[in-house]
């Protein structure tokens, strides 16, 4: 008997219905393109790399060599069989020749492979591996989604073989032959279905990995976009304010324009340094040229903001060493964005930054005495508060922003800190 073996593997994970449907279609070969049926050989990387003509010709040549060569050798030990003549060779070659159509017309391939195989099997020619081409065509049709044609061919072949086989002399031998043939065909069909199931599992895993990679890339792009927004929005806002001050002073008091120009120089230098650090992340295997921003840079941030004429007071900045890197960066960016919004939108003259650390969290408060976010950029289409909320939520924290009682605006963020980190 010539049969194939398989092992059923079931996936414990689920996929979205649409993704699973397209995956199954890709496995079975039922997705169509402008040139015909999608090539199911793509599921087998080593096979897919070969040129198309090689994938067509090699299986046919291998099947022909096995069927003709081994059957010819086997005929020497079967003197009672019909002579191994040209017609026998023709039948053994016709099945492999049908394999040339296996990629373009899998249903026709299995039918054309069945006809010469059945004629040879019903004859008195020597026995041998004359079913190799039919088995290959059957597997091919099942894997390409032509299961009805494949199974229909097996059923028809079974009925014809049992009904027309010339060597069946009595009822006992008839039942024995029918049972043996049925068992062989079931093994063949089960092997094809198991292989299809295994390739489907492999395709599902590949699709899941591709989806995870896409999500990781999307998350990384979002993180970089947040960094670029925070870096550029803050420093360019400072440059814009200081440039306005310098232009105003150049006409009336040019000697007082120097501090504003110096502030512009410092802000642009800091922006370029942080921008390089963010862009270095995009270069695979390259370490950022500058350390990641954090609360250690809070004093410099406050000084740059004071240069715009805004009075900034800070409390609670001491004793914040040992914070997790993610919390440290998020807290700094929240303060940076909040102060940027104060400068750009509030019209405030004073801002207060308060930091307080408890065993389970770090609380950040930024208050001002302005008129609040009356401009177009804070929540109505801008990235200011939305970006700060995303940073807080990414760490499992929260952020609230809104008017203060009386006058002004407040940003309140609570960022969780693991107790193991605090104790260090």
Q: At what angle do helices 132-143 and 147-164 cross, to 10 degrees?
A: 150
- Average pLDDT, integer, range 218-226: 73
- Residue 206's beta-bridge partner residues? none
**Strand duo 311-315 + 350-358: pairing:** parallel
Q: What is the mean pLDDT of the chain?
A: 75
- Rounded distance between C-alpha atoms, residue 184 and residue 178, angstroms: 10
- Residue 37's beta-bridge partner residues? 32
Backbone φ and ψ of 295, nearest 5°: -65, -15
- Average pLDDT, integer, range 298-311: 84
Q: At what angle do helices 106-121 and 147-164 cross, to 10 degrees?
A: 10
Query: pLDDT grade, residue 379 (50/70/90)?
Result: very low
Q: What share of the chain is helix, strand, coil (3-state, %, to 5)?
A: 65, 10, 30
- Rounded distance between C-alpha atoms, residue 38 and residue 45, angstroms: 15
Residue 236 confidence (pLDDT): 75
- Residue 358's beta-bridge partner residues? 361
Q: Is the dihedral of CA 284, 218, 396, 13 positive or negative?
A: negative
Residue 351 confidence (pLDDT): 92
Query: Is 46 in a helix, a strand, or coil?
Result: helix
Is the pLDDT reported for residue 289 higher than 60? no
Structure-token pair, residue 388: 């700060």
- Average pLDDT, integer, range 162-174: 60
Residue 165 confidence (pLDDT): 64
- Rounded distance between C-alpha atoms, residue 304 and residue 377, angstroms: 22
291 against 412, higher pLDDT:
412
Is the pLDDT reported for residue 303 higher than 90? no
Query: pLDDT grade, residue 249 (50/70/90)?
Result: confident
Query: Is 258 in a helix, a strand, or coil?
Result: helix
- Rounded distance between C-alpha atoms, residue 181 and residue 328, angstroms: 73
Instruction: Check residue 372 and give left, alpha or beta (phi > 0: left; psi -120 to 50: alpha).
Output: left
Residue 169 confidence (pLDDT): 53
Residue 414 confidence (pLDDT): 92
Is the pLDDT reported for residue 252 higher than 50? yes
Yes or no: say if 230 and 275 are a contact pair by the CB < 8 Å rule: no
Q: At what angle do helices 384-394 and 325-341 cross, to 10 degrees?
A: 160
pLDDT in tens, 39-97: 556 555 566 566 777 888 888 899 999 989 998 898 888 888 888 899 989 999 998 99
Query: For the chain, how many residues are written?
Result: 424
Q: Any idea what DSSP says for residue 361?
A: E
Q: pLDDT > 70: what percent of the chain?
A: 74
Structure-token pair, residue 262: 């110096």
Query: pLDDT grade, residue 8 (50/70/90)?
Result: very low
- Asked: is 297-424 a CATH 3.30.565.10 domain? The reply is yes
Residue given tokens 């169509």 in the structure block? 32
Is the pLDDT reported for residue 220 higher than 90? no
Residue 166 confidence (pLDDT): 57
Q: How far apart are the first and last CA of the chain?
A: 70
Burial 266-276 (b: 16+ CB within 10 A, else e): bbeebbeebbe
Q: Any idea what DSSP says for residue 69?
A: I
Determine which of 2-6, 135-139, 297-301, 393-397 has the lowest per-residue pLDDT on average.
Answer: 2-6
Yes or no: say if 260 and 306 are a contact pair by the CB < 8 Å rule: no
- Rounded distance between C-alpha atoms, residue 355 and residue 301, angstroms: 15
70 against 285, higher pLDDT:
70
**How many Cβ atoms sit within 10 Å of the Cβ of residue 422?**
16
Backbone φ and ψ of 3, nearest 5°: -145, 170
- Rounded distance between C-alpha atoms, residue 298 and residue 292, angstroms: 13
Is the pLDDT reported for residue 3 higher than 50? no
Domain residue spans of the chain: 17-212, 297-424
- Rounded distance between C-alpha atoms, residue 28 and residue 142, angstroms: 7
Determine which of 20-34, 244-258, 359-373, 386-400 has the lowest per-residue pLDDT on average.
Answer: 20-34
Q: What is the pTM of this model?
A: 0.47
Q: At what angle do helices 171-252 and 325-341 cross, to 10 degrees?
A: 50
Residue 35 confidence (pLDDT): 34
Burial 341-373 (b: 16+ CB within 10 A, else e): bbbbbbebeebbbebebeeebbbbbbbbbbebb
Residue 413 confidence (pLDDT): 92
- Average pLDDT, integer, range 128-146: 87
Is the pLDDT reported for residue 176 higher than 60? yes
Residue 6 confidence (pLDDT): 37
Residue 372 confidence (pLDDT): 67
- Rounded distance between C-alpha atoms, residue 229 and residue 116, angstroms: 71
- Average pLDDT, integer, range 377-382: 45
Is the pLDDT reported for residue 13 higher than 50? no
Max CA separation in the chain (angstroms): 122
Residue given tokens 């340094």 in the structure block? 273
The most confident of the ranges 50-54, 189-193, 269-273, 300-304 is 300-304
31 against 295, higher pLDDT:
295
- Rounded distance between C-alpha atoms, residue 277 and residue 285, angstroms: 13
Residue 37 confidence (pLDDT): 38
């Amino acid at each position: 008997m010539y049969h194939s073996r398989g092992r059923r593997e079931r996936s414990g994970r689920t996929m979205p219905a649409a993704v699973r449907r397209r995956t199954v279609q890709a496995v079975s070969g039922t997705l169509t393109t402008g040139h015909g049926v999608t090539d199911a050989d793509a599921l087998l990387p080593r096979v897919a790399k070969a040129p198309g003509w090689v994938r067509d010709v090699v299986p046919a040549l291998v099947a022909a060599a096995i069927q003709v060569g081994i059957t010819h050798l086997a005929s020497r030990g079967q003197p009672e069989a019909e002579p191994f003549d040209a017609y026998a060779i023709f039948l053994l070659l016709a099945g492999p020749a049908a394999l040339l159509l296996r990629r373009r017309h899998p249903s026709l391939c299995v039918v054309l492979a069945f006809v010469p195989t059945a004629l040879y099997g019903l004859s008195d020619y020597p026995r041998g591996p004359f079913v190799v081409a039919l088995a290959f065509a059957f597997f091919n049709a099942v894997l390409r989604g032509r299961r009805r044609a494949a199974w229909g061919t097996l059923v028809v072949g079974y009925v014809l073989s049992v009904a027309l086989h010339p060597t069946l002399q009595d009822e006992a031998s008839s039942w024995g032959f029918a049972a043996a043939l049925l068992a062989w065909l079931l093994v063949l069909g089960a092997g094809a279905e198991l292989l299809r199931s295994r390739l489907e599992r492999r395709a599902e895993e590949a699709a899941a990995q591709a989806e995870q990679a896409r999500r990781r890339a999307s998350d990384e792009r979002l993180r970089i976009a947040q960094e670029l927004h925070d870096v550029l929005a803050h420093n360019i806002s400072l440059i814009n304010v200081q440039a306005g001050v310098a232009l105003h002073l150049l006409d009336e008091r040019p000697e007082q324009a120097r501090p504003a120009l110096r502030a512009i120089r410092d802000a642009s230098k800091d922006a370029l340094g942080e921008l390089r650090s963010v862009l270095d992340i995009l270069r695979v295997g390259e370490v950022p040229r500058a350390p990641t921003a954090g609360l250690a840079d809070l004093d410099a941030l406050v000084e740059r903001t004071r240069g715009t004429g805004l009075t900034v007071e800070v409390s609670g900045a001491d004793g914040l060493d040992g914070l997790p890197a993610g919390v440290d960066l998020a807290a700094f960016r929240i303060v940076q964005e909040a102060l940027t919004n104060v400068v750009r939108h509030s019209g405030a003259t004073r801002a207060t930054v308060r930091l307080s650390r408890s065993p389970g969290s770090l609380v950040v408060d930024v208050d001002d005495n302005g008129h609040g976010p009356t401009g177009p950029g804070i929540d109505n289409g801008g990235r200011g508060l939305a970006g700060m909320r995303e940073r807080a939520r990414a760490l499992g924290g929260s952020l609230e922003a809104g008017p203060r009682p009386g006058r002004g605006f407040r940003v309140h963020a609570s960022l969780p800190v693991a107790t193991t980190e605090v104790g260090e």
